[in-house]
Structures are given as structure tokens and as C-alpha cells.
Copies of this chain bind each other. A is one copy, B any other.
Amino acid sequence: MKRILIYDTTLRDGNQAEDVNFSLEDKIKIALKLDAFAIPYIEGGWPGASPVDTAFFHEIAAHELKNAVVVAFGSTHHPRATAESDKNLKALLAAKTKAIALVGKSSEVHAREALHITKERNLEIAADSVAYLKQQGKEVFFDAEHFFDGMAGNPEYSLAVLQRAFAAGADYLVLCDTNGGALPSDIAAMVGRVREVLPEARLGVHTHNDCGMAVATSLAAVEAGCCMVQGTINGVGERTGNADLVSLIPILELKCKGAYRCLPEGRLSMLRSVSNYVAEIANLQPFARQPFVGRSAFAHKGGVHVSAVNCKSSLYEHINPEAVGNEQRILLTELAGRSNIVSLARRFGFHLDKDEPVVVGLLAELKEKSAMGYDYAAAEASVELLILRKLGRRGVRDFFKLIQFRVLESKRDADGVPLSEATVYLEVEGALEHTAAYGEGPVNALDKALRKALSGFYPRLKEMRLVDFKVRVLADGDHRGTESLVRVLIESADQNNKWVTVGVSYNIIEASWQALIDSITYKLYKDENEMRAAQQGD
């Protein structure tokens, strides 16, 4: 079993995708998730090139990563500088990472036409930059940009670049298909050639998906001898994206007859949750047909397929979906489900039997609301409340009754500051409360007015704060543009817990209201439960 090192560049090359734009907080969250997933190398960004990337390296240093080494990315020194004087290399060192990825031209055409330097000068630049960073004690990955295109033109030159970088001390030579145009058979042959010329070097591969074959070209490179694979979660990246690690990792671990290993035992089943987490943070719709982790990846629609998988799943499934945290779904025939409800209720402390009528009722309600767009996988507090209400459990009750709310939003003149004001009129513990608040936007005004009305009755609401507020417009054939269905997820926290609630409506205020109400109800229910338990304990 050969260990293949997974090198994630979601935070750097992934951020080059047209529709991805990570904030500092996004990058930190993703890095921590990748560390938990035990990815060995995380490329964090290009220090010096963007303020977010510079800040990332400072910030991530405050976290103790358990598995991952953070890598700073930058280019070889400027043609008019030396390694010692180069601004870019200084910024790389200032990032204070253990490892540095250094991108250098490995194609004669690029040296001449993009850098406007001689091919000899380009060799010097590569060698000097690598040597200088090695002197500073760094682990150095030399990213040989445009390597495969270079090999198609002047292979001796491209190989010479690798030889110089290797001689200068590079720890890995990473062969890049920067333009994404190389075919798997060409890549296999060219990696073979490098192995002949540099049998001692450790090789990596970095591919792009411009031909829809980035996963296959990466696999071909591994089969030909590369021991490191660079890619991104969900294949996001410049143009058509990078090799999708969410496909590559399970292919290497499950499909290659035990030849390769990438992750510690037991991590692979996190694959789907890692993929969804990154999609969520990037605010991209998860892709239903994504291999291994997509919602449709093990969904059977064809009649022949459905009856066969009912006999034996493997007849139409190439792997066991649970191995990657996914599940089989049967479309149209709606067969599955009651056992899901039973195991969900068990999580919240209720032992139900599969044949109880309440299970059937819950299943129907959850299916109906999921089809409407309620994302119960993300919003467990809302599911727990739904189950508790259906079971008629003591403690979960309506802590107040809405009589009316209004939100008034106004703006004067094109340059005027918009004003948001909310009024709420509620019945709380038998009393009538009528109050108002301003806010930053309509949902914030409503949130403030609601807390103002309730906190006299439930002072512990003051412990609760809203941590995150997410809005997703759901695609839907009939409603388009500003009429679209909207899902709101609200994450709340108090000193002990965090919880997520959901609301769905064509109206964003209504969807937010649903999620807010669930969030407050959950807090009050948990507090009452806790108090009751404490009293019984006395």
C-alpha cells in the first residue's frame, strides 16, 4: 500500500473560481474542517498578493492543527530581483509556514512569451528561488507550471527546469497541467519520462478540468508514479476548476484494489459532510450529480435499476454509499424512510418503534417539508422541535402568540440611508406586548423588536445571540427572479450550545421569522428542561 499525499488548494486555486470569493473567516473555517478530515497539506493562499491571504497565515497560526501542514504559495523571484531581495519571497517567508509552494515556469514558450526572459535566466530563477527557501529551512514544493504543455513543445527544456529545481533542493516536483488541456495518456507517458530522468525525485501532480478529465489525468499520474495529488474540494478553481479531491480520494482508497491509501482509517465517511460544508461556505449549490457525494449519486430512477437494487444494492452501485457518508435513494417509489425517523428520534432521546403511527406521520411531514426546501440535515434544532411537537412532549410549547408584526422599510433619495423599523404585537404569558425597534435591515429590526417584547418575561433570552444568518434562493421552475423560494438558516448560540433552525418561504421576511421563532423556542424549551431536571435532581 502506497501512501498518496493529498494536497488541498481549495483556499488558493479554488478561490480563483469565478463564483468563489472566500473571506478570511471562510478560509479559517475550511482549513479547520480540512484538518479534521486529516488532509496532510493545505495551501492557504498567496501572502502579499491579497490582504485576506496575508491575514490568513497570521490567523491560522493561532490555531493548533492536528493533521495538516499549512502551505504558503507564491512565485519564483522576479526576473529583475535576486532571491534575497525579492518582495514576493519576503512575503512568503513572512507567512511563517513550515512549507512553501513555489510556482515557476517549466515551458520554454512561457519563459519567453510571458516572462520575456531567456530560457537560461528562467533556469537560474527557479534554482535560486528554491535554494534560498531551502536555506531558510522550509519544505519546498516546486510547482512546475505548464509542465505538460512544455513537454509537448521542448521536452529537454522542461526536464532541465525540473532537474535544476531538484538539484537546488526542492522536496517535491509538482507537474502542473496549468491549462487543463493534457490527455491522460500523454500525462502517463510524460510522468514516465520524468521518472527515467529523475528517479530519485518525489513527484506531485496538479491538473485542471478544461477537458473534463482532471480526476482521470491525476489518477493516470499516480499510476505512473506521482505520490502527491493537488486538487480542491468539489473541484472549484480557475476556469473549469481543479481536480476534484472529493472524487480522487475515494477512487484512490476504494477503487484501486488496495494499492493506495490517503487518509487515516475511518475518515473517508466524512467525505460528504466535508464536501457539503465547503459548498455551503462558498455559497454554491451542492451539485446533485457530483460523483460519490451528490444527492443523486446513489439515487435510482430507472424501473429495472430499482427492482435490482432492492434485491442487492451492488447490482447497480459501484461502492457502498455509506463508505463516503452518502446514502441510497429510491426515486418515485418512496420506499425508504421509517428507519431514518426511528434513528433520528433516538438521537433526541426517544425510543420509537418503526410501526408506530406517529413514525408514519412524522415521515410524511418531513418528506413534504423537505420537498418544499426545508433543509433538515442542516437545521437539527428545527427537526427536534418538529418531532417533539408531533410526540406532544411536555416542555415544548408556544412561549408566545403572534397577533401581528409589521416591518416598514423606507429610503429617501438615491443616496439616502435606508431605514428599517419593525413593530410586534404579541400575547406573552397572558399579557399583551406591543413594541417596536429599528434595525440594520428588516430582519434585524424584527429580531430586535421580538427580543425586546420577550426578554422581560424570559430574561435568559439575553444569553442568546445569533451567530450566523444564511440565505439561499432555491431554484424552482415556476417562480423566478425576486419571486423565488428562499431558505433561511439561522445559527444561534448561548454560553453552552449552538443550534441551527430553518425557515422557507417565497417571502424572505417570513422565512427569517420562521427560523427566528424556532431558534427562540428552542432556547426557551432547553432552559425549561434544564431547570426541571435540576429541580428533580434536588
Q: Which of A's residues lie within 8 Å of B, judged by CB?
A: 16-19, 21, 23, 25-26, 49-52, 75, 109-110, 113-114, 178-181, 183-185, 209-213, 215-217, 219-220, 223, 235-236, 238-241, 244, 247, 251, 255-256, 283, 285, 287-292, 294-305, 308, 311-312, 315-319, 331, 333-335, 371, 375, 377-378, 398, 401-414, 416, 418, 420, 439-444, 446-447, 465-477, 479-484, 486, 490, 492, 505-510, 512-513, 516
Contact = CB atoms under 8 A, between A and B. Distances in A.
Contacts of A209: 289, 291
Given A50-B334, A180-B318, A210-B291, A507 B255 contact: no
A16 to B, nearest CB: 5
A181 B255 contact: yes
Contact of A49 (B303, B439, B446, B471): B303
A301 B23 contact: no
Nearest to A28: B475
Pick from A398, A411, A444 the residue with the most CB of B within 10 Å.
A411
A481 B468 contact: yes
Given A378-B18, A474-B23, A483 B441 contact: yes
A315 B404 contact: no
Contact of A239 (B300, B402, B412, B468): B300
Contacts of A216: 184, 212-213, 215-217
5 contacts: A52-B334, A239-B289, A441-B486, A468-B484, A471-B508
B480 A465 contact: yes
A18 B296 contact: yes
Contacts of A256: 183
A333 B21 contact: yes
Nearest to A295: B18
B408 A439 contact: no
A329 B256 CA distance: 39
A471 B442 contact: no
Pick from A296, A371, A404, A408 the residue with the most CB of B within 10 Å.
A296
B398 A414 contact: yes
A440 B409 contact: no
Contacts of A317: 179
Given A21-B375, A443-B482, A467-B480, A213 B215 contact: yes
A144 to B, nearest CB: 15
A443 B508 contact: yes
A301 B17 CA distance: 7
B211 A507 contact: no
Given A184-B184, A294-B240, A481-B467, A401 B418 contact: no
A219 B50 contact: no
Contact of A468 (B23, B183, B473): B473
A183 B109 CA distance: 34
A241 B303 CA distance: 16
Contacts of A301: 16-18, 238
Q: Which 7 A-B pairs have the closest CB atoms?
A: A466-B481, A181-B318, A216-B216, A441-B507, A212-B247, A471-B471, A212-B291
A304 B406 CA distance: 51
Pick from A179, A283, A404, A482 the residue with the most CB of B within 10 Å.
A482
A214 to B, nearest CB: 8
Nearest to A145: B304
A16 B416 CA distance: 45
A464 to B, nearest CB: 10
Contact of A411 (B315, B469, B510): B510
A35 to B, nearest CB: 19
B179 A316 contact: yes
A278 to B, nearest CB: 15
Nearest to A406: B410
A302 B9 CA distance: 14
A481 B508 contact: no
A472 B475 contact: no
Contact of A486 (B318, B408, B412, B471): B471
A492 B482 CA distance: 11
Contacts of A292: 210-212
B469 A484 contact: yes
A27 B306 CA distance: 24
A217 B446 CA distance: 50
B240 A289 contact: yes
